[in-house]
Amino acid sequence: MDSEREEKQVGGVRLRNLNFILIVPALILCFLLLFATYRARVEYSRLQEATERYIGSQQDVSAMQAASDYLTEQVRVFAVTGDPAAMDRYFEEVNVTRRRDDALAAMNEYLAGTETYGYLNQALAVSNELMQRELYAMRLAAAGFGLGDDRLAPEVLAVTLSGEDAGLTDNAQRQKARDMVFDDVYQNYRARIAENTALCSAALIDGTQASQNASAGKVSRLFGMHQLLVTALILLVCGLVLATSRLMINPLGSAVEHIRRHEELPLRGSYEMRYLARTYNELREQNTQDRQKLSYEASHDALTGLLNRAAFEKARQQYSHENVAMLLIDVDKFKTFNDTYGHDVGDRILQKVAGLLQHSFRSEDFVCRIGGDEFAVIMLHAGKSLEGLVRGKIDALNATLGAPEDGLPPASLSVGVAFGDRDDPTDDIFKDADTALYYTKEHGRRGVSFY
């Protein structure tokens, strides 16, 4: 019943109905046509496998980055608060959950020895190297908060502080521990991890595209084989020239032209040709959707739908010398929301901030989420003459967040802004915007400062 329904949907005359006229030659040609169809199915299956392998590998890359970000979050919580639970969560990820190691092991099963695997392996190596700094920072923070050895994980307990650090006051030890997980050195490690995961994703996309191109070439050769078979059929059965032209030659010629123009194949000709065209069209449509999805996931943040850090860095490099404005935005005391109301509320606040930012800025501007509670906006064609406009936007955002009507707790934003035509600039507009953001935080938060 399903095959009958499918045949009605595809339409066209089956070539096997010509067997009575073509006899043996027709049987041979039909067999070859079916074989070509089978080969097309095989190539389609291979393409599906390549796509599924890519999806699995991309999940491995995401797991590596997510685990690294989680470790950073926990070590920072411990360095700031001295909460032993944060240390416990840190080592639970390292020793029990093991998302980083599991991601690398999963990719090793089918991409061992490849450039893609090398990037992810390098990301893990940098992450492990960063762990040494984090362990020392936790040991220093534990000393500063006066935690006893019985409250420390064995890995932290095994760390020996230098004589200089051991002689610091409690406040100095706590401050140094915080500095170690927030300074430029630490951020550089994190950037290297993100760079390697981004390179891994790019290599995955390149590999998938190469596989898809190879499959398309094989499909094209299969259609060429069909042309030869149709030509032989015409030579054998002169009386069926018109019929075979309508059923095979014209549809095949049209299909080749559409393939060359990368267009969808029209459903024309015999049943077999229609079936192949529909299969090709389905494969082509699926490939297009997969590429669009992969491209979107590689450049967008899963929680908020904004551009992610990788897309931000790309835009930052592309427009670093243009007439732009760089806005760095932090949600004030975001950790308090997570601790007080739970991570679900925290996520909703981030989504709300993301939506307000998208609504407040132009479609040509780049609105990005670059960290846990960190956002950034790159405004194009914006000079310091727009300072008042930007201030008004931020004030409006803070007014909206401060008087919520959606059941969420009040929130606020601290913003630092640097214009491309700013006075006394450094060579890095991002750094200048960060300086302005720091000034906002040091002067009461909930506002905007301009470099």
pLDDT digits (tens, 9 = 90+) for 366-387: 999 999 999 999 999 998 899 9
Please give the average per-residue pLDDT across 337-352, as a whole number.
Answer: 94
Distances in Å between the alpha carbon of 121 and those of 61, 86, 116, 130, 256?
10, 26, 9, 14, 43
Torsion of CA 90, 96, 100, 102, to 10 degrees: -170
Whether the per-residue pLDDT at 1 is higher than 50: the answer is: no
What is the C-alpha to C-alpha distance for residues 212 and 198, in angstroms, rounded to an integer? 21
Residue linked to tokens 């960063």: 130
Half-sphere exposure of residue 298: CA atoms within 13 angstroms, side-chain side:
22
Q: Cα–Cα distance between 336 and 334 in angstroms, integer?
A: 5
CB 422 within 8 A of CB 412: no
48, amino acid identity: Q
Confidence of residue 116 (pLDDT cuts 50, 70, 90): confident
Q: Considering 290, 301, 332, 373, which one is annotated as catalytic?
A: 373
C-alpha to C-alpha distance for 240 and 284, rounded to whole angstroms: 33
Strand order in the sheet with 374-380: 366-369, 374-380, 324-331, 413-419, 447-450
CA distance 187 to 196: 14
Q: Which residue has the higher pLDDT, 427 or 171?
A: 171
Residue 247: pLDDT above 50? yes
CA gap 7, 272 in Å, rounded: 10
Of the pLDDT bands very low, low, confident and very high (cuts 50, 70, 90), residue 4 is low
The candidate with the shortest Cα–Cα distance to 284, out of 267, 266, 252, 262, is 262
Alpha-carbon gap, residue 313 to 320, rounded angstroms: 10
pLDDT top residue among 137 and 321: 137
State the pLDDT confidence band at 6, using cuts at 50, 70 and 90.
low
pLDDT digit string (tens) for 271-281?
878 888 888 88
- The per-residue pLDDT for 387 is 94
Whether 373 is a known active-site residue: answer: yes
Residue-level pLDDT at 46: 78
> pLDDT confidence of 101, banded at 50, 70, 90?
very high
DSSP classification of residue 300: B
Q: Which residues on neighbouring strands pair with residue 300, listed in sequence order? A: 307
Model pLDDT for residues 125-154, shown as the tens digit of each residue: 999 999 999 999 999 999 999 999 899 999
What H or E segment, with its residue span, contains residue 374?
Answer: strand 374-380
pLDDT of 411 reads 96
pLDDT range class, residue 42, cuts 50, 70, 90: confident
What Rg, from alpha-carbon coordinates, does the chain have? 30
Other C-beta atoms closer than 10 Å to the C-beta of 87 total: 23
Residue 111 confidence (pLDDT): 81
Cβ contacts of residue 13 below 8 Å, gap of 6+? 247, 270, 271
Rounded mean pLDDT, 301-307: 92
For residue 217, the Cα-to-chain-centroid distance in whole angstroms is 28
Q: How confident is the model at residue 183 (pLDDT cuts 50, 70, 90)?
A: very high
Exposure string of 93-115, with b = 16+ CB inside 10 Å and e = fewer, is: bbeeeebbeebbebbeeebeebe
